[in-house]
């Protein structure tokens, strides 16, 4: 295999070592999953509790931690989500929703996705700006200890 292909494969395997190596300590694997969970889970359909006044899941069906979180988010008579039944108890249904999508329907999820899109837009605008500055010769790169500009790269292609 060419050196570049070997290097790319080794880098990828090194990055994924906490997952691929069965002898990695569990705390290192947990840290890896916490750090990259949003990337690994993006688009994967997961079960979500969705507010539904006629849903089969009641607040008492949830574990203590989830019960507190859901009760705080969807309080009876809270209005906006329509999650309280006629008896005043929050009700839910389980729905498969892609991770990281706005399908969950909460304001928090919509704001998080909007922020993510704005951040991506900012980064791509910044990259275009830096590329234009580089092409104009205002921004140089250092390669092999030597400072180079776009003019240097254009002359290399000739």
Give pLDDT tens digits along the chain (158 positions): 788 887 777 777 777 777 777 888 889 888 888 888 877 777 788 888 888 888 898 888 888 888 887 777 664 444 444 444 445 778 888 888 887 665 555 666 677 778 888 888 998 999 999 888 888 878 777 777 777 766 666 666 55
Q: Are residues 60 and 97 in the same domain?
A: yes
What does pTM read for this prediction?
0.39
Domain of 139? Answer: 45-157
Would you state the pLDDT for residue 152?
67
Q: Are residues 12 and 80 in the same domain?
A: no
Q: In the 8-state DSSP scheme, what is residue 105?
A: -
Would you state the pLDDT for residue 153?
65
Q: Please, is 41 exposed, middle or buried when counting C-beta atoms within 10 Å of its C-beta (0-12, 13-18, 19+)?
A: middle
Q: How many domains does the chain have?
A: 2
Q: Are residues 5 and 32 in the same domain?
A: yes
Would you state the pLDDT for residue 140?
74
Would you state the pLDDT for residue 147?
74
Q: Are residues 69 and 7 in the same domain?
A: no
Would you state the pLDDT for residue 110?
72
> Pick from 95, 53, 99: which is nearest to 76 by CA?
53
* Rounded Cα gap, residues 3 and 16, in angstroms: 20
């Amino acid at each position: 295999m060419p050196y570049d292909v070997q290097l790319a494969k080794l880098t990828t395997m090194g990055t994924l070592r906490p997952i691929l190596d069965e002898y990695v300590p569990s705390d290192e694997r947990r840290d890896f999953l916490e750090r990259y969970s949003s990337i690994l889970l993006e688009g994967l359909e997961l079960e979500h509790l969705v507010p539904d006044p006629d849903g089969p899941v009641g607040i008492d069906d949830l574990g203590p931690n989830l019960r507190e979180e859901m009760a705080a988010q969807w309080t009876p008579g809270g209005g906006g989500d329509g999650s309280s039944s006629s008896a005043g108890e929050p009700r839910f249904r389980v729905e498969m929703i892609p991770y990281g999508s706005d399908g969950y329907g909460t304001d928090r999820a919509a704001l998080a996705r909007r922020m993510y899109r704005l951040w991506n837009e900012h980064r791509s605008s910044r990259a275009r700006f830096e590329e234009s500055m580089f092409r104009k010769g205002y921004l140089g790169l250092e390669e092999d200890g030597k400072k180079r500009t776009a003019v240097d790269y254009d002359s290399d292609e000739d």
